[in-house]
Amino acid sequence: MAELTTQASGTVAAVRSGIVDVRFETGLPALEEMLRVAWDQPQILLLEVQAHLDGRTVRCVALQDTHGLSRGVAVQRSGGPLRMPVGEAVLGRLLDVAGQLGDRGPALPQDVPYWPVHRAAPPLAARTLGTELFETGIKVIDLLAPLAHGRKAAMFGGAGVGKTVLVMELIHAMVDRYRGLSVFAGVGERSREGHELLLDMRRYGMLPHTALVFGQMNEPAGARWRVALSALTIAEYFRDERKQNVLLLMDNVFRFVQAGAEVSGLLGRLPSRVGYQPTLAPEVAALQERIASVAGASITAIEAVYVPADDFTDPAVTTIATHLDSQIVLSRAMAAEGMYPAVDPLASTSVLLDPVVVGEAHYRIAERARETIARYRDLQDVIALLGINELGAEDRRIVGRARRLQRFLTQPFAVTEAFTGAPGRSVARQDTLAGCRAILDGECDDWAEGSLYMVGTLDEARDREQRAKVAA
């Protein structure tokens, strides 16, 4: 932790859960200034100023647990906002919202630089828009919702449909293909998820190139609210100072919004739509607009977004979605059918799915795939009531190709290999396009649907089909 400057001290006037009022005799601190409680507990307690109640009192949000804090305890000013350690020293380390180490490793060097977590977004004139495709090796994403370096993408889905698994697979793909730097922001993560992530990164050799910043679910709302900014500050350092490309992963952005709503309620603000904070839009914008590319370096963001009650019209979901370039929507219905990754091919979109970016051939195959699956969904009610034999010959052909296409777009993941026993598959974009084109052209009309399920390339599916015929 950076040393606090010598400033006028105050005293705790009131404590209400994660909100602390501090009274000063002179020198009222500015908004977003960090204060440090000089108490007798071993752990630090940092406060961030959120409001001026009068000429002598400020209202603060606590970034750590306030249990044991009482009135009259001294509070020291820092003279500036919360600061985060950055640079090479934080790679391979696990930190909390204030930059304290949580991996029981050696202390950070004394000369490690510190950057304030509250920073302005790059000006529009300095920004660049990347169009270099970020191949994930995940067929359905590369085909229908492609990602690009320096852009923002998010996985939307309710509980239990595979958001975290998909984020983990994307981390694996990034390290396997690009060997770049990454920063992971665990916003409201469970302790189990954080522990598993740390072990997985060590096992795959990804940890030396990754900084992990966690604000766990059991921590106060203030920690969960600011941890995304702490992680983003580390990513900005490598982009701005080292001119390196960084992959920023956030799981889960909805919990950032949720923590902001908790803080807003504790501060006494009247709620807005569906109980969210009235400052929802500017809070999300303050985070998302800092994720940008500048000349010579970029931050590529991949975010997981929980959708409460599978309601995609939720204000938090729609507010986050306005800032994204690629939206990958996970479907509970597809997950129930065992179609993993459970990406909805019709709801998922990307501004990069354009002939100028991906090429005319890719664009046409993606459009044909969507049209085929959309027609199949239109016919599902008829099939359920009357049976597939009541359809015309052309509709039966479309249904068969759509079902085979959906199964081909599934694949086993490297990060689930320990649970499924199936080795993970990473598929090049050209192989994905070739397989989808063959299915849409009818080359696989006489194949069993099971031959295309959970495979990598079409050649693997062809081998499986041939083995099945020989066995029969």
Residue type for 150, please? G
Report whether the peptide linkage leading into residue 252 is cis, meaning its omega lies within 30 degrees of zero. yes
The DSSP code sequence of 404-451 is: HHHHHT----GGGHHHH-PPP----HHHHHHHHHHHHTTTTTTS-GGG
Residue 331's nearest CA partner among 210, 172, 96, 160 is 160
Q: Using CA atoms, how far apart are residues 156 and 176, in angstroms rounded to an integer?
A: 24
Helix (H, G, I), strand (E, B) or coil at 455: coil
Instruction: Read off the tokens for 239.
Output: 């982009």
CB atoms within 10 A of CB 313: 8
Annotated catalytic residues are 163, 189-190
Instruction: Read off the tokens for 85.
Output: 């350690």
C-alpha distances (whole Å) from 436 to each of 253, 258, 362, 442, 443 are 33, 40, 10, 10, 10
Helix (H, G, I), strand (E, B) or coil at 15: strand
Q: Using CA atoms, how far apart are residues 19 and 49, in angstroms rounded to an integer?
A: 10
Interior angle at CA 428, CA 433 and CA 369, nearest 5: 25
Q: Using CA atoms, how far apart are residues 301 and 123, in angstroms rounded to an integer?
A: 18
Determine phi and psi for 22, rounding to 5 degrees. Answer: -125, 130
Q: CA 256: distance to chain centroid?
A: 11
Q: Using CA atoms, how far apart are residues 194 and 266, in angstroms rounded to an integer?
A: 27
Cβ proximity of 315 and 323 under 8 Å: no
Residue type for 334, please? M
Name, in order, each residue with C-beta under 8 angstroms of 102's C-beta and a sequence gap of 6 or more: 94, 95, 96, 214
